[in-house]
């Protein structure tokens, strides 16, 4: 999967906005989007929220987990544990990136939040690398990792599976040499 | 009886129309009017406010409005700036550093000084160059005295401004203002605005004005005539900062060329008095002469030349004369650009009568001219018709 595809899937997440226009309820294939009244918060998918923000038609409210103290606690918890801890949202990385790039003026302490989320991401990717490394060394047959988000899986997934394929090919090529002789002229 | 009345009425009508069309002057900046419109519709944004500020500053830089009008308009914009930019920033609520912030500044009027070295900026701002008379050796010495009076070492001053010692930069504005007062320059500081986003990008309104002006009038050949305009327009948006920086470099070249041309004109006495006005003509072989073929660059050059000339001449009568300046426009068509600048007085109302004067002079001598710039006081003339056109102008204005 492409990182852009994962971001596309993440854009279905709901966020709260405060529109400055009014519109009746709209009926889309994916679901209904409630009536829009200026000044009243309404939940919409992320793709619509970003589009409205770019057209200056709404104000974004940060999701409740996007708060400096909560993220600090999560980051410290992540650093202490050896396995992966549950993340505030299955698409936390994409949400952070999109919201902070397009609506950083609506999110208080945006710079600190960016640093904290990046810290969490780095810790988790490091744990993923360590776990992949030990998987290969000990030649395990299967592994189970909880609480991984799709973006993290996608970052290392393709490389890991292709590397394992190559190693399988190299390993299966070793054995025939021990049992048969190579053909001579 | 009725025919006589009708003839009188027609004559009065012609007189009124002539008085009305005689002078050309500028009103409120259209950028400001558009911003007020957006504000009425409640669709105004910080970005639009910045564009309104740039429009107003452009009028002031090109001397199109009086000082009083500029100060009034700055007051109007300042209210909008505080409305948009007064977030109560405290420990809990700091805004991301990437957000656009506009702030009111009472800053030095040295051109591009934060993107250049202080010394270069002092030499290339027309205000300081004219007052110090920097085209003469005596003027250069006065500049050194000025810097020594403030205690700024020459090595520091010639470095890029961002690399100057922080201890020197701290009270720079007040120090310069004090020393400038001693040397006879009372208006060193001017009310203006600056925009600030990210860690690195801070621009004064006049910086952006000079950058876009140079982009729009750069002499590089391009496919269609509108490419430069579109480039200049692009450079105003936040995502095209590289174009803005390119414009700043072009502006530095333009300003240097302007000052060098002024220095050479004054030293070789190219500004001659023709009676009712002063006349100066740039020759073909002058270095950088192609930079001055477009209307705004030539107007700026002429205004600065007139200011410097007024400071340099001792002839009392010459100080009150307007200036007509000619520069070669295109070799193959054999045309020159001619621009007319009203006389330099402290309280002038910036009304320019050259538009009509040029028209009448061209009509009476049937010179081939093209009179279709936005500024009525700039025309394109065939080089052969130049002398008879000037004679007609002299007889018209005397």
Q: β-strand B323-330 against B278-281: which pairing, if any?
A: parallel
SS3 assignment, position B390: helix
Q: Quick: pLDDT tens for B34-73.
A: 999 999 988 888 889 999 999 999 999 988 888 889 999 9
Q: Would you place residue A23 in the very low, low, confident or very high pLDDT band (cuts 50, 70, 90)?
A: very high
- Give me the residue from B43, B92, B95 closest to A105, CB to CB: B95
Q: Which of B96, B98, B196 to mutate to test the interface with A (most CBs of A within 10 A)?
A: B96
B96 touches chain A (CB under 8 A): yes
Residues of chain B found within 8 Å of residue A56, distances taken between Cβ atoms: 43, 45
Q: Is the pLDDT of residue A180 over 60?
A: no
B89 touches chain A (CB under 8 A): no
A108 and B92 within 8 Å at the Cβ level: the answer is yes
Closest CA in chain A for residue B89: A108
A70 vs B200, more confident: A70
- At residue A98, the pLDDT reads 93
A146 vs B348, more confident: A146
CA distances from B361 to B322, B369, B379, B386 (A): 16, 10, 12, 11
B96 and A56 within 8 Å at the Cβ level: the answer is no
Q: Is the pLDDT of residue B32 over 90?
A: yes
A104 touches chain B (CB under 8 A): yes
Taking residues B90-105, report their average pLDDT: 73
Q: What mean pLDDT, rounded, does chain B reach? A: 86
A109 touches chain B (CB under 8 A): yes
Closest CA in chain A for residue B47: A56
B99 and A100 within 8 Å at the Cβ level: the answer is no
B99 touches chain A (CB under 8 A): yes
- At residue B292, the pLDDT reads 84
Q: What is the percent of chain A with per-residue pLDDT over 70, rounded to a whole number? A: 95
Q: What mean pLDDT, rounded, does chain A reach? A: 88
Q: How close, in Å, is residue B89 to chain A by CA atoms?
A: 10
B17 touches chain A (CB under 8 A): no
Neighbours of B362 (CB within 10 A): 21
A111 and B99 within 8 Å at the Cβ level: the answer is no
Q: Would you place residue B18 in the very low, low, confident or very high pLDDT band (cuts 50, 70, 90)?
A: confident
Q: Is the pLDDT of residue B372 over 60?
A: yes
- At residue B204, the pLDDT reads 92
Q: Quick: pLDDT tens for B110-120.
A: 889 889 988 99
Q: Is the pLDDT of residue B95 over 70?
A: no
Residues of chain A found within 8 Å of residue B86, distances taken between Cβ atoms: none
Q: Which of A85-89, B66-70, B101-105, B164-168 has the lowest mean pLDDT?
A: B164-168
What is the rounded distance in angstroms from the CA atom of residue B390 to the CA atom of residue B385? 9
Residues of chain B found within 8 Å of residue A100, distances taken between Cβ atoms: 96
Residue A50 backbone dihedrals phi, psi, to 5 degrees? -65, -40
Q: Would you place residue A91 in the very low, low, confident or very high pLDDT band (cuts 50, 70, 90)?
A: very high
Q: Is the pLDDT of residue B91 over 70?
A: no
Report whether A45 contacts A13 (CB < 8 A). Answer: yes
Q: Would you place residue B92 in the very low, low, confident or very high pLDDT band (cuts 50, 70, 90)?
A: low
With the CA atoms of B118, B197, B215 and B49 taken in that order, what torsion angle do they form, in degrees rounded to the nearest 10?
A: -110
B332 vs A176, more confident: B332
SS3 assignment, position B94: coil
A111 and B96 within 8 Å at the Cβ level: the answer is yes
Residue A29 backbone dihedrals phi, psi, to 5 degrees? -60, -40
Q: Quick: pLDDT tens for A96-138.
A: 999 988 888 888 888 889 999 999 999 999 999 998 888 888 8
Q: What is the pTM of this model?
A: 0.84
Residue carrying structure tokens 């500081």 = B189
Report whether B292 contacts B327 (CB < 8 A). Answer: yes
Q: What is the ipTM of this complex?
A: 0.70
SS3 assignment, position B282: coil
- At residue A183, the pLDDT reads 60
Closest CA to B265 of B229, B292, B242: B292
Residues of chain A found within 8 Å of residue B92, distances taken between Cβ atoms: 108
What is the rounded distance in angstroms from the CA atom of residue B337 to the CA atom of residue A22? 55
- At residue B4, the pLDDT reads 92
Closest CA to A109 of A54, A73, A71: A71
- Give me the residue from B43, B92, B96 closest to A105, CB to CB: B96
A106 touches chain B (CB under 8 A): no
B43 touches chain A (CB under 8 A): yes
CB pairs under 8 A between A and B: 22
Q: Is the pLDDT of residue B87 over 70?
A: no
- At residue A76, the pLDDT reads 93
- At residue A124, the pLDDT reads 93
* Torsion sign, CA atoms B173, B177, B183, B188: positive
Question: A112-116, B21-25, B334-338 — which one is most confidently predicted on average?
Answer: A112-116
Residue B384 backbone dihedrals phi, psi, to 5 degrees? -70, -30
**Beta-sheet strands, E only, within chain B:** 101-108, 189-197, 201-204, 272-273, 278-281, 323-330, 335-341, 369-370, 378-382
* H or E element, residue B118: helix B118-124
Q: Is the pLDDT of residue A175 over 80?
A: no
Q: Quick: pLDDT tens for B278-322.
A: 898 888 777 788 888 888 888 899 999 988 888 888 777 888 888
Three-class DSSP labels, chain A = CCHHHHHHHHCCCEEEEEECCCECCEEECCEEECCECCCCCEEEEHHHHHHHHHCCCEEECCCCCCCHHHHHHHHHHHHHCCCCCCCCCCCHHHHHHHHHHHCHHHCCCHHHHHHHHHHHHHHHHHHHHHHHHHHHHCCCCCCCCCCCCHHHHHHHHHHHHHHHHHHHHHHHHHHHHHHCCCCCC
Taking residues B4-25, report their average pLDDT: 89
- At residue B282, the pLDDT reads 87
Domains and CATH numbers, chain A: 3-164 (1.20.58.1020)
Residues of chain A found within 8 Å of residue B102, distances taken between Cβ atoms: none
A104 and B43 within 8 Å at the Cβ level: the answer is no
- Give me the residue from B43, B45, B99 closest to A104, CB to CB: B99
- Give me the residue from A56, A105, A109 closest to B99, CB to CB: A105
Q: Around B193, how many Cα atoms within 13 Å sit in the side-chain half-sphere?
A: 32
- Residue B153 contacts by C-beta under 8 Å, 6 or more apart in sequence? none
Q: Residue A48, exposed/middle/buried by CB under 10 A (0-12, 13-18, 19+)?
A: middle
A50, two tokens: 């970003």
Report whether B328 contacts B289 (CB < 8 A). Answer: yes
B94 and A109 within 8 Å at the Cβ level: the answer is yes
Closest CA in chain A for residue B98: A104
Q: Would you place residue A178 in the very low, low, confident or very high pLDDT band (cuts 50, 70, 90)?
A: low
* Per-residue b or e along B4-23, where b marks 16 or more CB atoms closer than 10 Å to that residue's CB: eeeeeeeeeeeeeeeeeeeb
CA distances from A44 to A51, A79, A101, B95 (A): 11, 33, 18, 25
Q: Is the pLDDT of residue B130 over 90?
A: no
């Amino acid at each position: 999967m492409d990182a852009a595809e994962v971001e596309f899937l993440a854009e279905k997440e709901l966020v709260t906005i405060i529109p400055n226009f009014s519109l009746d309820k709209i009926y889309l294939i994916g679901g209904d989007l409630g009536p829009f009244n200026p000044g009243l918060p309404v939940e919409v998918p992320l793709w619509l929220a970003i589009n409205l923000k770019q057209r200056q038609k709404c104000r974004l409210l940060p999701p409740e987990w996007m708060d400096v103290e909560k993220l600090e606690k999560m980051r410290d918890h992540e650093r202490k544990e050896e396995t992966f801890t549950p993340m505030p949202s299955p698409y936390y990385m994409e949400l952070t990136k999109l919201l902070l790039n397009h609506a950083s003026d609506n999110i208080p302490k945006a710079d600190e939040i960016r640093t904290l989320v990046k810290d969490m991401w780095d810790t988790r990717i490091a744990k993923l690398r360590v776990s992949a490394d030990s998987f290969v060394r000990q030649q395990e047959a299967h592994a189970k990792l909880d609480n991984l988000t799709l973006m993290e899986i996608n970052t290392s997934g393709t490389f890991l599976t292709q590397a394992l394929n190559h190693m399988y090919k190299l390993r299966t090529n070793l054995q025939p040499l021990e049992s048969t002789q190579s053909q001579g002229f | 009886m009725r025919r006589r009345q009708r003839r009188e009425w027609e004559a009065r009508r012609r007189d009124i129309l002539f008085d009305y069309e005689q002078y050309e002057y500028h009103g409120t900046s259209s950028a400001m009017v558009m911003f007020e419109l957006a504000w009425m519709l409640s669709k105004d944004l910080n970005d639009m406010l910045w564009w309104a500020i740039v429009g107003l500053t452009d009028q002031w830089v090109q001397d199109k409005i009086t000082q009083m009008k500029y100060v009034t308009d700055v007051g109007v914009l300042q209210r909008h700036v505080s409305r948009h930019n007064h977030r109560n920033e405290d420990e809990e609520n700091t805004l991301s550093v990437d957000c656009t912030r506009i702030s009111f500044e009472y800053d030095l009027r040295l051109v591009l000084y934060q993107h250049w070295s202080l010394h270069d900026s002092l030499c290339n701002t027309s205000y300081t160059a004219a007052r110090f008379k920097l085209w003469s050796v005596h003027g250069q010495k006065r500049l050194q005295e000025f810097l020594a009076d403030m205690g700024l070492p020459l090595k520091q001053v010639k470095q890029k401004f961002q690399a100057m010692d922080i201890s020197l930069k701290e009270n720079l504005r007040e120090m310069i203002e004090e020393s400038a007062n001693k040397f006879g320059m009372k208006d060193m500081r001017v009310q203006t605005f600056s925009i600030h986003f990210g860690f690195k990008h801070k621009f004064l309104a006049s910086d952006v004005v000079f950058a876009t002006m140079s982009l729009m009038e750069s002499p590089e050949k391009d496919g269609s005539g509108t490419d430069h305009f579109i480039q200049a327009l692009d450079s105003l948006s936040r995502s095209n900062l590289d174009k803005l920086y390119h414009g700043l470099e072009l502006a530095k070249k333009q300003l240097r060329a302007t000052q060098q041309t002024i220095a050479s004109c004054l030293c070789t006495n190219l500004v001659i008095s023709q009676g009712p006005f002063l006349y100066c003509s740039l020759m073909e072989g002058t270095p950088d002469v192609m930079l001055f073929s477009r209307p705004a660059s030539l107007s700026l050059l002429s205004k600065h030349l007139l200011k410097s000339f007024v400071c340099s001449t001792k002839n009392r009568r010459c100080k009150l004369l307007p200036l007509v300046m000619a520069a070669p426009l295109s070799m193959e068509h054999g045309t020159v650009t001619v621009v007319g600048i009203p006389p330099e007085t402290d309280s002038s109302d910036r009304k320019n009568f050259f538009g009509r004067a040029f028209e009448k002079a061209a009509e009476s001598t049937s010179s081939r001219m093209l009179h279709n710039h936005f500024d009525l006081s700039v025309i394109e003339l065939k080089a052969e018709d130049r002398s008879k056109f000037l004679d007609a102008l002299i007889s018209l204005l005397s």
